[in-house]
Amino acid sequence: MHSFRRSRCAIWSHGLDAAVIAFAALLTIACVTSDSSPARTASQVTLERIGTIGCSACNDERQITPAVLAVLAGERVAILNPYEPLVRVFDLEGNPLLAFGTEGQGPGEIGQELPGVGYLPGMWLFGNELGGITVMDVFPSSLEVFDADGTFVTRRDSGVRTAVPVGQAFHAETHTYFNLGFTPGPNSPRSLSRCPFEGNVDVQCESFADPAEFLAPDGEPGDAVGALALAATPAGGLIVANTVTYELWVLGTGGTIIARSGRDLPLPLRSEAELEVERERFARMGRPDAEISPHRMHIESYGLQVDGSGRIWVLTGRHEEANSVLDVFSADGTYLSEVVIDAVVRRAEMRITPFAARGDLLVVAAQQPDGNDQVWVYRISPTTRE
């Protein structure tokens, strides 16, 4: 059995209060690699950048501020900007193909203004095998289903009270999503449910697994350590990752654990600049004496994706000023390699999905030095270690 290092960081040790957990995904990727050069890789998996969506100086439909990303069937990319009720669809070369959406809480309408939070365009975005697109709206939580040309098809109750940016995973082919439900606070009950939405009926969620098994260290079931990230597998199972202890579990379609893996690494340290930002944030909240952890999490809260071959992509907390570090695992949880993209990963405004995968494509949200945003498109290629 793999030996895992146990870190004694509580769930809230990174200063994420309930409002942040529920409504703000604070992740931005700023990239500086060239279009022609592949991302650096240790072995076994290579990312080759093949396209760019968005532009550095434009004032038309190509201008984007990506908050939510999804790779659609037909090698298209869908983007939700944080301040408008439009789903924008592009090809891999950045050509606009489609834009649709209307703000509101009625059928076929997406996003709304929330007091104290601002406008939210929807929390999740995913496509089905026919090219259709589904948006998970926030409040009330619902699934707004559109066909491939943006025509509204149906609305379904999502089965959860409020959609949040963390703790969701979608499997488009089986019309299923997984939901990690919890009430922020110590010793609060948690649930991990599977929620099918086939047909024109509202979602009926069913218990899938006990999240306490992934939150508690061995032999200490009452001690909830870490927060969980989720990603659906091509077969309809689930990957669960503890973002603090760096453990991964591969679950089958019935919720049974098939494999357990992870990495035995020390928690990465935050820079002094990051700590100062945290101190200032707590001071503005009237909590200048709040305890601040010197560590980042091993895994970003929104940093788990699975590609079409079942490989698990982890956006880690190990980064320097000018790069992002992805760890890659096989479908059975075997660690394959580290992939470094010349990019900066920072928490910033309204980044709900910093990257997304489908088939052999990986897309990442890239904030440029001049403040403009792009989405970078990579082709995933296996390599052989010599």
Mean pLDDT of the chain: 77
Task: Please give the span between the terminal C-alpha atoms of the chain, in angstroms, as a whole number.
Answer: 28
List, for residues 9-68, the tens digit of each pLDDT value.
322 233 333 333 333 332 222 222 333 344 554 458 889 999 999 886 777 788 887 778
Q: 2 vs 29, which has greater pLDDT?
A: 2
Q: Which among 366, 342, 240 has a CA at the least distance from the CA of 36?
A: 342
Indicate the domain borders of the chain. 18-64+162-320+327-374
What tens digit of pLDDT does each residue of 129-176 get? 778 898 888 766 788 889 999 999 988 887 776 666 567 888 877 788
Strands 343-346 and 28-31: antiparallel
| pLDDT score of 188 | 58
Distance CA 245, CA 225 (A): 8
Q: What is the 3-state secondary structure (H, E, C) of 284-298?
A: HCCCCCCCCCCECCC
pLDDT category, 251, cuts 50, 70, 90? very high
What's CA 87's distance to the chain center, in Å? 18
Q: Which long-range contacts (CB under 8 A, 24 or more apart) does 32-36 make?
A: 32/322, 32/342, 32/343, 32/369, 33/341, 33/342, 33/343, 33/376
Q: Are 327 and 253 in contact (CB under 8 A)?
A: no
For residue 377 the two structure tokens come to 């498109």
